[in-house]
Structure 1
Amino acid sequence: MQVLHVFILFIVVNLFDVIVFDFGVFCYSKKLRIAGTADMDKEYENYLFHVKGDIKGIMLGNVISLLSVCIIYIVSII
């Protein structure tokens, strides 16, 4: 059950990151652009790039959640 709690927390934070920061801020704010890339508007607004990164983050989150729960379980035994 602890795995589920840690994983859900990780998913919620990851979705917040993609929706608010990646889609909402990074895709549309020109203040956060790297110097010299002002003409790359199309690349910055590529939603698929951010979604692929989110999926990679979820895969990594599976491993991190499992390791976190293992640590919590070991500490609770001691």
Structure 2
Amino acid sequence: MQTNSIRTSLAIAVLAVATLSGCAGMSHRDQSTVGGAAIGGVAGAVLTGGSVGGTLGGAAIGGVIGNQIAK
């Protein structure tokens, strides 16, 4: 059952990245924030076995890191 949760989380993350990658008007910092959130969400899902809290927490932390790296 956890495998399905991980696959679902990964599919959502990939879909989010694909959807947001079409935003050509985004600044470099915005793009880094979105990329960090996507990577963090996937990492959080994998590390916590697909839990929603882990996915959202990873996305939040990844977004902050991506934002700060692009300064």
TM-score normalised over the length of structure 1: 0.39
Name which one, 1 or 2, has greater alpha-carbon Rg: 1
Higher relative contact order (CA 8 A, sep 6+): 1
TM-score normalised over the length of structure 2: 0.42
